[in-house]
Amino acid sequence: DGQIDNQRGALVVLEGLDRSGKTSQCNGLLSFLEGLGFSVESWRFPDRKTGVGEMISSYLANKSQLDDRAIHLLFSANRWEKRSLMESKLKSGTTLIVDRYSYSGVAFSSAKGLDIDWCKAPEIGLLAPDLVLYLDIPPEKAADRGGYGVEKYEQLEFQQKVSQHYQILRDDTWQIIDACLPMEDVEKQVRELVLDCVTACRNGKPLSQLWL
């Protein structure tokens, strides 16, 4: 229809512990929405391809050490360097499916003991997601799913702390999905929630900013 140019895309974020199934759901959503004819891209944070992303990647692989606050700010900078592209994509009608965002940033850093408000501060002004799908799984169950890799943070005790810190960040953009259900059931819920969200954005729901 004639209004197509004004219809913005949706900013959909998937969050959850390692091994909660985020990445599979992101991939599934991408092909589902493409199949329906929507303009859609799948993104992830950290974006390891930028200069900042390379520093993060080396830290996660235990190839470099950084102060807890320094790495926190790099994760945040990695989102800031993508902000304007994110905004132009959304405004031109492309829906973005994003694997991790500021909630990971705050949950992982505050789980190390950093003050939560300090952790949130550098995220203020980034684009707020229209929908956050939290794939909820007990840390012990996630650990059973083929185990963790070798990167920093992939240990049960730390994931338990992260899980608790995620709970503090829940807001009204969040939908909690039981990630222990069979994958097809998770996928069905995810699709329904995302379609509603995409529709609301096309119908003029305004873009907003984080934590204001």
Residues 34-73 that bind ligand FDM (CB under 6 A): 45-46, 60
Do residues 71 and 85 touch, judged by C-beta distance below 8 A?
no
Q: How far is the CB of 104 from ligand FDM (least distance, A)?
A: 4
| Residue 82 identity | K
Cα–Cα distance, 157 to 94 (Å, whole number): 38
> Of the two residues 32 and 45, which places its CB atom closer to ligand FDM in the complex?
45
Cβ-based neighbour number of residue 106 at 10 Å: 27
Contact at 8 Å (CB) between 128 and 201? no
Q: Report if residue 108 touches ligand FDM, rule: CB under 6 A.
A: yes
List the one residue from 104, 130, 135, 198 that touches ligand FDM (CB under 6 A). 104
153: left (phi > 0), else alpha (psi -120 to 50), else beta? left
Q: Is 75 in the site for ligand FDM (CB under 6 A)?
A: yes
The region of 32-40, 99-107, 136-144, 165-173 touching ligand FDM under the rule CB under 6 A is: 99-107
10, 93 in Cβ contact below 8 A?
no
Q: Which is nearer to ligand FDM, 28 or 46 (CB)?
A: 46
**Nearest distance from residue 18's CB to ligand FDM, in Å?**
6
Q: Identify which of residues 8 and 82 has a Cβ nearer to ligand FDM in the complex.
A: 82
C-alpha–C-alpha distance, residues 176 and 146, integer Å: 23
Q: Is residue 35 packed enough to be buried (19+ CB in 10 Å), middle (13-18) or exposed (0-12)?
A: exposed
| Contacting range for ligand FDM; rule: CB under 6 A; set: 3-11, 102-110, 128-136, 185-193 | 102-110
Which residue do the tokens 């300090």 mark?
118
153 binds ligand FDM (CB under 6 A): yes
Residues making contact with ligand FDM (CB under 6 A): 18, 45-46, 60, 75, 100, 104-105, 108, 153
